[in-house]
């Protein structure tokens, strides 16, 4: 158990005490740091004044238990705790001087995949390849659509194909989903297909934005098979870094057409 003692310093020792403290303020002393540097007490005080964490902790401490549970329920597939999501969200909002949300969103978290087709001049697609799933297969994701120009009958669509062997033949089960016309606020897209107990050696999930000038935002992508969640992604990225994804290789990973570059694809902060 930690022992705590309180001392009263006589006024006549005040000058000597300040002299001693001034000496040690010039020395480097060990502290936890991310880049293996040490700071003096005065430097640490300056860093504390610059951080958002002290204020965010105060905001978290006044939340009710029910409000904290809403943050815990809103983490999606980020891997965060409720407090970590709250901290990340509030830090971003304070840094950019934007209005703070009163409650977390359940449809999306901090970041999401943005898919765009400026001028509707080229086919824009991405594919997620997975292997060795057990049917049935459920594909779900949250999305928002901001239409730049009307589709002219060409919707934003998702196609899925699951391959299996039967009698030496390579056979596929397929499904298709299409978004509603016009602008779409955050909504859930979900499709279930395939046969229970069927072993699928390859699954391709393809989202298509051909000849359609619109911005599509994705979050909380989840692929489930007969055993539960097989793959999930909230498109997280750390500060100053990019979304880390597995490029397609040996029937697994992500493939982007034409490529994962701005303005066709990027991971952005979701308001």
The pLDDT tens digits for 81-125 are 888 888 888 877 777 777 766 678 888 888 889 999 888 888 899
- pLDDT higher than threshold 70 for residue 54: no
The pLDDT tens digits for 244-259 are 888 888 889 999 999 9
When pLDDT is cut at 50, 70 and 90, the band that residue 17 belongs to is confident
Q: What pLDDT does residue 36 have?
A: 52
- pLDDT higher than threshold 60 for residue 2: no
Higher pLDDT, 51 or 207: 207
Share of the chain above pLDDT 70, in %: 82
- pLDDT higher than threshold 80 for residue 44: no
The pLDDT tens digits for 176-206 are 999 988 899 999 999 999 999 999 999 999 9
Q: What pLDDT does residue 43 have?
A: 66
Q: What mean pLDDT do residues 65-94 have?
A: 85
Higher pLDDT, 249 or 271: 249
Would you list the DSSP string of 103-167? S--SS--SEEEEEE-GGG-S--EEEEEE--EESSEEEEEEEEEEESS--SS---EEEEEEEEEET
First to last CA, the chain: 46
Higher pLDDT, 31 or 223: 223
Higher pLDDT, 135 or 11: 135
Gap between the Cα atoms of 195 and 137, Å rounded: 8
Gap between the Cα atoms of 197 and 211, Å rounded: 38
Higher pLDDT, 8 or 214: 214
The correct answer on CATH 2.60.40 for the domain covering 111-269 is: no
- pLDDT higher than threshold 60 for residue 47: no
When pLDDT is cut at 50, 70 and 90, the band that residue 45 belongs to is low
When pLDDT is cut at 50, 70 and 90, the band that residue 212 belongs to is confident
Where in the chain are the domains? 47-95, 111-269
């Amino acid at each position: 158990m930690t022992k705590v003692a309180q001392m009263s310093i006589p006024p006549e020792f005040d000058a000597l005490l300040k002299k001693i403290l001034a000496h040690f303020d010039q020395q480097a002393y060990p502290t936890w740091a991310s880049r293996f540097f040490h700071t003096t007490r005065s430097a640490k005080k300056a860093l504390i004044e610059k951080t958002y964490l002290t204020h965010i902790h105060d905001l978290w401490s006044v939340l009710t238990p029910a409000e904290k549970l809403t943050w815990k329920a809103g983490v999606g597939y980020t891997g965060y705790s409720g407090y970590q999501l709250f901290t990340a969200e509030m830090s971003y909002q304070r840094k950019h001087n934007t209005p703070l949300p009163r409650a977390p969103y359940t449809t999306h978290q901090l970041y999401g995949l943005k898919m765009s087709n400026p001028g509707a001049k080229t086919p824009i697609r991405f594919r997620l390849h997975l292997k060795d799933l057990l049917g049935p297969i459920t594909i779900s994701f949250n999305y928002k659509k901001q239409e730049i120009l009307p589709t002219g009958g060409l919707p934003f669509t998702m196609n899925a194909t699951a391959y299996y062997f039967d009698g030496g033949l390579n056979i596929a089960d397929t499904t298709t989903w299409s978004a509603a016309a016009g602008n779409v606020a955050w909504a859930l897209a979900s499709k279930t297909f395939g046969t229970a107990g069927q072993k699928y050696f390859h699954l391709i999930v393809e989202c298509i934005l051909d000849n359609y000038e619109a911005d599509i935002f994705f979050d909380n992508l989840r692929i489930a098979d007969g055993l539960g969640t097989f793959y999930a992604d909230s498109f997280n990225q750390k500060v100053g870094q990019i979304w880390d994804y597995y490029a397609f290789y040996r029937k697994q990973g992500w493939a982007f057409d034409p490529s994962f570059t701005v303005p066709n694809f990027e991971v952005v902060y979701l308001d």
